[in-house]
Chain A
Amino acid sequence: MSESNAMRMLLDQILTGRLTRRQALTCAAALGVTPLALSHAVTQAVAAQEMRTVTFETIPGPPWEGGTRGGAGRVAWPEDAITLDPPLAYDLGGYYGIANFYRGLLYYGLNTEPQLDLAESMEISENATFYRFRIKPDVTFHNGRTLTANDFKFTWERASSPELGSWVQGFLGSVEGHADFVAGDADEISGIKIVDDLTIELTLSQPDVTIPGVLAIPPFYVLPAEEVQAEGENFQFTMGTGPWKLEEFDQAQRRYRCSRFENYVYAESLPYFDTLEWEWGITPTLEAQRVQRGELEAMGANVPAATALQLQQGGAGDDALQVWDSLSIVWYEFDVTQPPFDNPLVRQAVNHAFNRDRLQRLLVQPTGHFYPTAVLGYDPEATVYAYDPERAKALLAEAGVSDLAITIPIWGEDQGESQQLLQQDLAAVGITVTLQQDPADENQYGAKLRGMYPVWPRGWGMGLPDPAELYNSMMKTGAPANYGGYSNEEVDRLGAEAQRTTDSAARGELYAQAEQLLIDDAPYLFVGVRRWGTLKRPELQNFTWEPVLYEHWDRYWLQG
C-alpha cells in the first residue's frame, strides 16, 4: 500500500472515530509521520469535509418550444436612465437596463433565489464564512476579451470604494478587510482572493449567508477591469458580458439600441430578438397607448393604476395585461418619540381605522405587512390589523386621546390619493388630518422628519431581495433609514441572530418573528406592497417576469 493511501485510510479512521488518539499517533509513527504533520492533515481533512458544493438549478433557458429568431424588440421607460454604471444605478431604468448588458457570478432567475450564472460552481463552508467560486471558462466581454477573476475583484472593490459613493458600498461589509479598505488604510479588500484566472475566494470576518444574494444583484455585475481603468470617466457603461451589446446610444433622441451578443456565454441560449430598442422619457400612459397600437412590444414601466383598471374593463387580450406583487413596499411611519404617536394604543388605533382595501384601486396589495410577499420571512399567517373603526375609537378613548389634529405631507409631485383616502378614514374616527404638499421627500429629511410631521408616507424598493436589507435599513435601532425612532431590543436580537444563521428556513423563521413583533408594536401604519403590471402585445411570446430583475428580454420572441 502506498504511503498516501495508508495516510488516507488512517485519516478516514480517525475522522469516523474508530481510532483513539493514542492509536492514531502510534499508527502515524509507524508510517513515519510526525505528530505535527498528522495534526495538519487532520485539520485539512476536517475542513474539506465541511465544504459542500452548492448546486443550483441552472437558469432555465431556451430553446423553448416555438421560439423564433429575429425581429426587433421595442420597449420604453418613463424616466431617463440616470446612469448605467452598475453600483450607481438606483433608479429603475438603470437598474433593469444593466441586466441587458452585464451579468454577474450569480443571477436571479425566475424566482427570488439567486442562481449560478457566470460561476460554474460555488462552494460555501458550513458556517458561511468562506466562499469559493469557479468561473466559467471562455466567457467574453463584448469586445472579445476573456473574463478572469481579476475582473470580479476589481468590480467588487470599486463598488465598495468610498470615492464612488455607491449605495451598495457596505453590502460586502462582512468580507475580511472591507473596513480597512473603506477607511482608506488598505488599497484592496484582503478577503477577496484571486486564486487563479478562474477561481476567486471570499473570506468573511463573520458568517453571512446573504453573499450569494448580494452578488446576484445588478450593482455587482462584472465590469471589464482593464477597460474601466484605462478609460476612466469616458468608459461607456454598457460593455459587459451580458446578452445584449450596445449599438447606438442617442441621448438627444432618448433611446439606445442594442443587438444580440453572438458570443454570449450561453451559446444555446442566445436572445431571440436581433435587436432591442429602449426609449425613455415616455410617460406610462403613452407607453400603454403605443403597445396597444403595436408600436412597442411591451411597456418597460409600470402600468398606471387607472390604465390597468380601464384595461381590465376593456377586456384587453388574455395575457396582455400582467400584474404581480413587486418588491416595492409602502407604509406610513410614525414619530414614536413624541406625542401623540408615542402611545402604542394610538398607533394601533390608526392601523385599525384605515381601510387599506380601498388602495387596491391604486395597484397596492393591501397585505398589512411590512415585508413584501415575495421575500423570505413573509408569513401569510401573521396577525395583521383588520379594518375596524369601532375598535379604533375604543383604543383612542382608552388612550385618553380626543380631537386629534395632525398634518400629513404629500411628497413631491405625488397626487396624494392614498393620503386623501387616509384623511377620510381618520375623520371617521375623530382624527382631523390636514394635507400639506412638500416638494422634498422623506429621504431628503431623514431623521429631521421627527420635528416636522407626526406621521409621513414612506416607500422602499428593495435593492437586495432579502429581509436583511429591511432589518438593517429600517427595523434596527438607529438604522440609517429608521426615521421614526423605533427601537425594540428583541427585534434587534432576532435580526442579529438571523444574520448569523446559515439555514435558510431558520432565517426565515427568525425574520418572521421579528416582523410580528414589529406589527404588534405598530411603529408604522402598515399598508402593503405595490403591485406592478405591464402591458404587452399579444404577439410577444414567452413573456415572463419576476420581482427582482423584472423583464428578461433575452427570453421573449415575436410570433407572427
Chain B
Amino acid sequence: MGRYLLRRLGAILLTLLVVATITFTLTVLIPTDPARTIVGPKGTPEQVALVRQRLGLDDPLPMQYARYLGDVTRFDFGYSYGYRQEVRDILVDRLPYTAILAAAALLVQFGIGVPLGLLTAARADGVADRLTLVWTMLTISLPGFWIGLVLLYLFAFRLPFFPLGGASEFRSVVLPALALGLPGAAWYSRLIRDTALQNLHSEFVQALRARGISARTILGKHVLRTTISPVLTMMAIDFGVFLGGAVLVESVFAWPGLGLTAYEAMQRADISLLMATVLVGSLFVLVLNLLADLARIWIDPRVRLV
C-alpha cells in the first residue's frame, strides 16, 4: 500500500508539472498583452514597454518558465494585475465559494440520487421507476448551464424566490447547486438501482438468505457496501471536478468560484491568475481521484491491488 501511495503521489506531481507546462506555453501564445491591459487603452507604447520590462515579459522563455516553477513551489503564484492583488489572496478568497458550491452539489446528488435509487430498486419497473428513467434521460441530455438558466428563469426571475445569481446570501447557492447536481443525481439513482438489483439477485446474497439471515441484515451489511461503493467513488471524482471549477454553471450564476475565476482570467489575459487556477483545479481533481481510489479499496473487498 505504501509503495502504491508513493507511486500515485509521484504521478500526481508529474501530472501537475505537465499541466503547468501546458498552461505556461498557452499563456505565452495568448495574443493579448498583459502590459497593455495594465496600462489601459490610453497608455503610450513607451509605457507599455516599460511595464513589460518590469514584469519580465521580455526575458527569455526558459528563464520565465524556471522563475514560474520556482515561485510555485514556494506557493507564490504571482501578482494579478487584473485584480491588483496577490494571486494567492484571490485564490484564498475564491476557494471557500468553490468548496461550498461543490459540497452543495454533492449534497443534491447524494440526497436526491440515493433515496430515489433505493426506492426504484425496491419497486423496480413501477411508476416511479419509469418516471425516473425519463427524468434521467432528459437531464443527461441537457447541458448543466441550460438547466441553470431555466432554474434561474423560473425561480429567480419569474418567481422571486432566489436571487438572480451572485453569492450574496445563503439562498444563492441553491440554484447553482441544483444545476450542477441534478444530472448527477439522476445518474446516481440509476446506478444505485442497478447495482442494488444486481446484488440482491446474486448468488452470494441468495446463499445468505438460504441460511436464514434476514433481509435487513443482508441489505445493511452486505449489499449496501457494494452498492454504495461505486457511488462514493463517483462522488469523490465529482467533488474533484466541481472543485476544479464548474465553469459553465458558475458563469450562468456569476458564482465567484475557481471556474469563473479561470474564465475571467482568460478574458483579461491575466496570466498569473489563469495559471494558478488551472493548477489548483488540477490538483484537486488529482487528489480526489486518489482519495476515491483509496476509498474504493477500503470499501469494496473485491477490488485487488496489483
B254, A480: Cβ atoms closer than 8 Å: no
* Contact call B44/A480, Cβ cutoff below 8 A: yes
Please judge, given known A-B contacts A281-B166, A412-B267, A444-B33, whether A167 and B45 are in contact too, CB under 8 Å.
no
Q: Which residue of B lies closest to A168 (CB)?
A: B42
Q: Say what secondary structure dominates the interface of chain B.
A: loop
Q: A82-B84, A251-B85, A440-B31 are in contact. Are A282 and B254 (CB under 8 A)?
A: yes
Q: Are A439 and B32 in contact (CB under 8 A)?
A: yes
Binds B, one of A128-136, A150-158, A283-291: A283-291
In the bound complex, CA of A289 to CA of B39 (Å): 34
The reply to whether A169 and B47 contact each other, CB–CB distance below 8 Å, is yes
**Residues of chain A contacted by B151 (CB below 8 angstroms):** none
Nearest residue (CB) in B for A78 is B254
Instruction: Identify which of B39, B168, B254 gathers the most chain A CB atoms within 10 Å of its CB.
Output: B168
> Is B143's beta carbon under 8 Å from chain A?
no
Q: Decide if A289 touches B164 in the complex (CB within 8 Å).
A: yes
Bound-complex Cα distance A285 to B84 (A): 26
Complex Cα gap A83–B166 (Å): 21
- Contact between chains at B254 and A165 (CB < 8 Å): no
Check A165 against B43 for contact (C-beta < 8 Å): yes
19 additional contacts (CB under 8 A) given A283-B165, A439-B31: A82-B84, A165-B47, A167-B39, A167-B40, A167-B41, A167-B42, A169-B44, A251-B89, A282-B165, A282-B166, A286-B166, A286-B254, A289-B157, A290-B164, A293-B160, A441-B32, A443-B41, A473-B42, A481-B42
B164 and A285 contact, CB distance less than 8 A: yes
Is A279 interfacial (CB-CB < 8 Å)?
A: yes
Chain B residues in 8 Å Cβ range of A439: 30-32
Is B93's beta carbon under 8 Å from chain A? yes
Q: How far is the CA of A221 from the CA of B134 in the complex (A)?
A: 63
Q: Number of contacts between A and B (CB, 8 Å)?
A: 77
| Cβ–Cβ < 8 Å partners of B50 in chain A | 162, 165
**Which A residues are in CB contact (< 8 Å) with B269?**
440
B18-50: contact bitstring with A at CB < 8 Å (1 yes, 0 no)? 000000000000111100111111111101001
B83 proximal to A (CB < 8 A): yes
A353–chain B nearest beta-carbon distance, Å = 28
Question: Is B256 part of the binding interface, using a Cβ–Cβ cutoff of 8 Å?
Answer: yes
Contact indicator A83/B168 (Cβ below 8 Å): no
Interface contact B33-A286, CB-CB below 8 Å: no
Question: A473 to chain B: which residues have CB within 8 Å?
Answer: 42
Across-interface contacts of A63 in B (CB, < 8 A): none
Contact with A along B250-261 (1 / 0, CB 8 A): 000010100000
> Could you give 27 example pairs across A and B, Cβ below 8 Å?
A80-B83, A82-B84, A90-B40, A162-B50, A165-B38, A165-B50, A167-B39, A167-B41, A167-B42, A167-B43, A167-B47, A169-B44, A251-B85, A251-B89, A251-B93, A279-B168, A282-B165, A282-B254, A286-B165, A289-B157, A412-B267, A440-B31, A440-B32, A444-B32, A444-B33, A460-B41, A463-B42
Within the complex, the shortest CB–CB distance from B200 to chain A, in Å, comes to: 49
Interface string of A431-463 (1 = CB under 8 A from B): 000000011110110100000000000001001
Complex interface: chain B residues within 8 A of A82 (CB): 82-84
For residue B38, which residues in chain A have a CB less than 8 angstroms away from its CB? 165
Give the distance in Å from the alpha carbon of A251 to the alpha carbon of B256 in the complex: 12
Contacts of B40 in A (CB 8 A): 90, 167
Q: Which of B40-84 contact A (CB under 8 A)?
A: 40-45, 47, 50-51, 82-84
Do the beta carbons of A90 and B85 come within 8 Å of each other? no
**Once the chains bind, are B32 and A480 in contact (CB under 8 Å)?**
no
Q: How many residues of B contact A (CB 8 A)?
A: 35
B31 CB contacts on chain A under 8 angstroms:
438-440, 444
CB distance from B38 to the nearest CB of A (A): 8
Q: Given the complex of chains A and B, what is the CA–CA distance between A438 and B269 in angstroms?
A: 13
Shortest C-beta distance, B60 to chain A (Å), equals: 23
Instruction: Collect the chain A residues with CB atoms within 8 Å of residue B42's CB.
Output: 90, 167, 463, 473, 481
Residues of chain A contacted by B83 (CB below 8 angstroms): 80, 82
Inter-chain contact A480/B45, CB cutoff 8 Å: yes
Min C-beta distance of B47 to chain A, whole Å: 5
Give chain A residues whose Cβ lies under 8 Å from the Cβ of B84: 82-83
Closest 3 A-B residue pairs measured CB to CB?
Answer: A90-B40, A167-B42, A443-B41
Instruction: Report the minimal beta-carbon distance from B43 to chain A, rounded to whole angstroms.
Output: 5
> CA separation between A444 and B50, bound complex, in Å?
15
Docked complex Cα distance between A432 and B37 (Å) = 33
Inter-chain CA distance A463–B43, complex, in Å, is 12
Q: A444 contacts which of B36, B51, B168 (Cβ < 8 Å)?
A: B36
Give, as a whole number of angstroms, the nearest-CB distance from A251 to chain B: 6
Residues of B within 8 A of A90 (CB): 40-42
A62 at the interface (CB under 8 A from B): no
Give min CB distance, A285 to chain B, whole Å: 7
Within A249-304, the residues touching B (CB, 8 Å) are: 251-254, 279, 281-283, 285-286, 289-290, 293
Interface residues of A in 126-174 (CB under 8 A from B): 162, 165, 167, 169-170
Report which of B32, B39, B93, B164 forms a contact with A252, defined as CB distance below 8 A: B93
| CB pair A165 B39 closer than 8 Å | yes
Q: Which residues of A contact B168 (CB under 8 A)?
A: 253, 279
Complex interface residues of chain A between 364 and 383 (CB less than 8 A to chain B): none
In the assembly, what is the distance between CA of A441 and CA of B43, in Å? 14
In the assembly, what is the distance between CA of A473 and CA of B43, in Å? 10
Minimum Cβ distance to chain A for residue B123 (Å): 43
> Beyond A281-B166, A282-B166, A413-B267, is A443–B36 a contact (Cβ under 8 Å)?
yes
